[in-house]
Amino acid sequence: MTASSIANRSLSDLARQTRAAARNLAALSGADRNFAVSAIATALAENAEAIAAANAEDLVAAAAEGIPQPLQARLKLDASKLQGAIAGVRGVEGLPDPVGLVQIRRELDAGLILERVTCPLGVIGVIFESRPDALIQIACLALKSGNGVILKGGREALHSCRILVDVIHRALASTAVDPAAVQLLTTREEIRALLSLDSEVDLIVPRGSNAFVRYIQDNTRIPVLGHADGICHLYIDATANREQAIAIAVDSKTQYPAACNAIETLLVHADAAPTLLPAIASSLRERGVTLRGCERSRKIVPMAAATDEDWATEYCDLLLSVRVVDSAADAIAHINTYGSRHTDAIVTDDAAVAETFLSQVDTAGAFHNCSTRFSDGFRYGFGAEVGISTQTLPPRGPVGLEGLVTYKYRVVGDGHVADTYSGEDAKPFTHRDF
Amino acid sequence: MTASSIANRSLSDLARQTRAAARNLAALSGADRNFAVSAIATALAENAEAIAAANAEDLVAAAAEGIPQPLQARLKLDASKLQGAIAGVRGVEGLPDPVGLVQIRRELDAGLILERVTCPLGVIGVIFESRPDALIQIACLALKSGNGVILKGGREALHSCRILVDVIHRALASTAVDPAAVQLLTTREEIRALLSLDSEVDLIVPRGSNAFVRYIQDNTRIPVLGHADGICHLYIDATANREQAIAIAVDSKTQYPAACNAIETLLVHADAAPTLLPAIASSLRERGVTLRGCERSRKIVPMAAATDEDWATEYCDLLLSVRVVDSAADAIAHINTYGSRHTDAIVTDDAAVAETFLSQVDTAGAFHNCSTRFSDGFRYGFGAEVGISTQTLPPRGPVGLEGLVTYKYRVVGDGHVADTYSGEDAKPFTHRDF
């Protein structure tokens, strides 16, 4: 037996245990599920020192290995970050129960009632990078929504992930939730094995780069909720309000440049460019932004030349590409060619142009006269979020608990058979909604 | 250049034309889209003779090739079937517009409004078997929901598919819809090419066997709405009403045995089996059903022995496997092991047992005291259906127009920037739903 087939077999056993635990979890009341989430918050607070110590081990190793500074920063789980994570868990506890919602209630005929009711997905596999606080949030979202969860964190966060799952397991032991509902994978080989378990795992949530999400999609039959990069745009129309255009450009680029909802490309209408582009460029440069532009924009504001590659790049940095376009239609065409269907905004005082832009731009977030940085589950009022999906199918955009539930149709009758409603003298359905 | 890369390139051009036509289609009003659907219904009626003649060519070829009789029957598109298909198109015309529905409307802060609005997916690829009437229904569902559609029918239906798409194109020429929104692929090689166009095609709907749906899933990055086989169960509990148990078993198996919502396995509680199983077996045998049973059921009613393979088989025929179980929990475990998450029913007079079954059975349709044959978009009152999805994620079960739309978040402000809501003196969001 090869190492990989052993990994496959043992992981498959583990996934079956998770599935069994998830079935029991799904049968619990919302109060029982919330009690488990609450127990985790309490246990995290009680074990803060041990968690910080384990995290310190990861940080020392990361520094020794020369892991890039931003990654080290994300890896850090100090007292203040843990406090924030615990507050997040309490927030999840306070969210409405996503399970058992009746979406449709319809009489098909007298005494024959159809209901569509939300229910957990089953078992969710989450593959995330270094941030150990993501583990806490995702585990609690999964339990709140009645799902088992198999977690795979980054190798550099191993000690942190181990103690967090250990604390979660001990917390769950005092609740109605079987600790086996939360599992941790620790080796890279297990990712491949996890992706092959399409009969035991119902959804994969990869959190990482576009390339990583693509790799996952190419190597599994399991549905993928991709939290991928964002190539977001801001289009300044001919009739844009000058102050709004400057403020929104600055906020969308610089408020948090590493965020997926920050803009990478600024599109400016040719009529507005001569007066507006210099002012916007100067405000951005004051905040340390480097610009790369098309030929036309470079004639208005001197800057390095942008290449085709720039239009397709998420910089995650204080870099912005700039292009002058002749119309809103050209801006929409540029976005629909190079965008990643994340978030794209227009600044205009022309209501008709705004409506065309909002309806034709192919994106999860179509914004008018506001910053792209609002594209976020917390800001939308969804509470915690699983990720921001750049896929076309629902759930897309910022995804909260609703991405972790599905529904089933329940039909309850009193001996009803389909033959009554078929053939020559078929009885008609009433199809009456309650 | 290989034949396959030529197919790839030309199909990619065609898909881009479809995408462009779909973008225009998406910008049309519901009335314009409905007018296009109506024009198709009219054109089909006007071209009934030519359609029948083209279909006759396919039928002659199919008979000459010795294609199995049931397939020949499905291939047939005579005057009466076309009449039914046209009525179906009129039905689609009458369905509520799935585009532009506001699902969420929320104030984030004064003057900053979030809306979640349904919109078309874009371009849908549909791969279906011999039934040419499926082409008509799917094309009209796609247009109604504002989507472009690339259709690939069975080789044996080539003449029928060609004339139908030709009639649709001519009908659309007199409407606001660009005929390029509907495309027909005619060769098998194009399926592979279609599956690789993940930047041009947003959803693949394969209609065929489980193996076919699996093949599609394994060979594309495009989301798949799988219309696959159903391994449906009926469980007769200890407290089942005798008459209901018999009637529901007969209807679920024999009302239309080839349907995906017909049952393949009957599970009977050990306490009910001695009295109920003989009566059910006799009623089923009267209707030509052959039974295969577990050891315990064979001691009550003589029948052939069932193997493990039987529990995992969709017969699509007058065949039924039978198993005696000791409890509802055992029935649920059997279904969750062998079922295909399609439709599974319980007959019981015990409300608590029914509730446990409905909540714990892992299926899109969980039924109580009624036939599994009700699991159908028309019977649920959804009008036309794209297919019945056996996937866990929504849309699952019978999928109507809602499976062909997604949504986008629109945020409209008046110069709002995220920085206002961040840091020390962050302004709070109001998050007030309208």
Number of domains in chain B: 2
Say what percent of chain B tops pLDDT 90: 75
pLDDT digits (tens, 9 = 90+) for B88-107: 899 999 999 999 999 999 99
Please check whether residues B257 and B190 belong to one and the same domain: no
Domain enclosing residue B311, as ranges: 232-379
Mutation site, A409, A420, A429, interface B, largest B CB count within 10 A: A409
Residue B121 placed within a domain: yes
Q: Name the residue among B368, B370, B394 with its Cβ closest to that of A406.
A: B394
Mutation site, A417, A427, A429, A433, interface B, largest B CB count within 10 A: A417
Interface check A153 vs B, CB under 8 A: no
Q: According to the model, what pLDDT value does residue A210 have? A: 74
Q: Is A3 a residue whose pLDDT tops 90?
A: no
Answer for the pair B123, B22: CB distance below 8 angstroms, yes or no.
yes
Interface check B331 vs A, CB under 8 A: no
Please check whether residues B141 and B176 belong to one and the same domain: yes
Instruction: Give the residue on B whose Cα is nearest the Cα of A363.
Output: B408
| CATH number of the domain within which B185 lies | 3.40.605.10
pLDDT digits (tens, 9 = 90+) for A89-104: 999 999 999 999 999 9
pLDDT digits (tens, 9 = 90+) for B50-101: 999 999 999 999 999 998 887 888 899 988 889 989 998 999 999 999 999 9
Q: Name the residue among A255, A407, A418 with its Cβ closest to that of B394.
A: A407
Residue B414 placed within a domain: no
Q: Name the residue among A108, A371, A374 with its Cβ closest to that of B379.
A: A108
> Closest Cα partner for B243 from B339, B347, B128?
B347
Residue A189 placed within a domain: yes
Residue A346 placed within a domain: yes
Q: Report the greatest alpha carbon distance in chain A.
A: 81
Q: Is A57 a residue whose pLDDT tops 90?
A: yes
Tokens of B398: 């019978």
Render the burial of A343-378: b for 16+ CB within 10 Å, e for the rest. bbbbbbeeeebbebbbbbbbbbbbbbbbbbbbbbbb
Please check whether residues A247 and A121 belong to one and the same domain: no
Tokens of A352: 């008709």
Mutation site, B408, B410, B419, interface A, largest A CB count within 10 A: B408
Interface check A413 vs B, CB under 8 A: yes
Q: According to the model, what pLDDT value does residue A227 have? A: 66
Please check whether residues A118 and A31 belong to one and the same domain: yes
| CATH number of the domain within which A247 lies | 3.40.309.10
Q: Is B9 a residue whose pLDDT tops 90?
A: no
Mean pLDDT of A4-18: 78
Please check whether residues B80 and B36 belong to one and the same domain: yes
Nearest-angstrom CA–CA distance, A194 and A210: 20
Chain B residues with CB-CB distance to A396 below 8 A: 406-408
Residue A333 placed within a domain: yes
Residue B429 placed within a domain: no
Q: According to the model, what pLDDT value does residue A355 have? A: 95
Q: Are B417 and A358 inside 8 Å of each other by CB? A: no
Q: Is B221 a residue whose pLDDT tops 90?
A: no
Please check whether residues B266 and B374 belong to one and the same domain: yes
pLDDT digits (tens, 9 = 90+) for B297-310: 999 999 999 999 99
Q: Name the residue among B368, B379, B410 with its Cβ closest to that of A412.
A: B368
pLDDT digits (tens, 9 = 90+) for A377-432: 889 988 878 888 888 999 999 998 988 999 999 999 999 999 999 988 999 999 99
Interface check A373 vs B, CB under 8 A: yes
Nearest-angstrom CA–CA distance, B143 and B39: 12
Residues 31-70 of B with CB under 8 A from A: none
Please check whether residues A372 and A258 belong to one and the same domain: yes
Residue A371 Cα, gap to closest chain B Cα (Å):
5
Please check whether residues B343 and B241 belong to one and the same domain: yes
Q: Is B7 a residue whose pLDDT tops 70?
A: no
Residue B419 placed within a domain: no
Please check whether residues B52 and B128 belong to one and the same domain: yes
Place of tokens 């039909």: A411
Chain A residues with CB-CB distance to B246 below 8 A: none
Q: Name the residue among B112, B374, B422 with its Cβ closest to that of A411.
A: B374
Residues 227-286 of A with CB under 8 A from B: 241, 243-244, 247-248, 250-252, 255
Residue predicted with more confidence, A349 or B377:
A349
Could you tell me which residues come within 8 angstroms of residue A231 by beta carbon, excluding any fewer than 6 positions away?
A264, A265, A312, A313, A314, A338, A339, A340, A342
Q: How many residues does chain B have?
A: 434
Q: According to the model, what pLDDT value does residue A258 have? A: 83
Q: At what angle do helices A30-46 and A79-94 cross, to 10 degrees?
A: 170
pLDDT digits (tens, 9 = 90+) for B241-259: 999 999 999 999 999 988 8
Q: Are A358 and B410 inside 8 Å of each other by CB? A: yes
Q: Is A1 a residue whose pLDDT tops 50?
A: no
Q: In this structure, what are the phi and psi dihedrals at residue B214, rounded to the nearest 5 degrees?
A: -60, -45
Could you tell me which residues come within 8 angstroms of residue B203 by beta carbon, excluding any fewer than 6 positions away?
A392, A393, B121, B124, B125, B222, B223, B224, B225, B404
Q: According to the model, what pLDDT value does residue A9 have? A: 65
Q: According to the model, what pLDDT value does residue B71 have? A: 81
CA B321 to chain centre: 25
Mean pLDDT (chain A) is 93
Residue A417 placed within a domain: no
Please check whether residues A165 and A294 belong to one and the same domain: no
Please check whether residues B216 and B269 belong to one and the same domain: no
Please check whether residues A16 and A75 belong to one and the same domain: yes
Q: Are A408 and B106 inside 8 Å of each other by CB? A: no
Instruction: Give the residue on A whose Cα is nearest the Cα of B23.
Output: A360
ipTM above 0.95, yes or no: no
Q: Is B294 a residue whose pLDDT tops 90?
A: yes
Chain B residues with CB-CB distance to A354 below 8 A: 412
pLDDT digits (tens, 9 = 90+) for B357-383: 999 999 999 999 999 999 998 899 888
Interface check A16 vs B, CB under 8 A: no
Cα separations in angstroms, B44 against A46, B149, B172: 72, 18, 12
Mean pLDDT of A250-264: 93
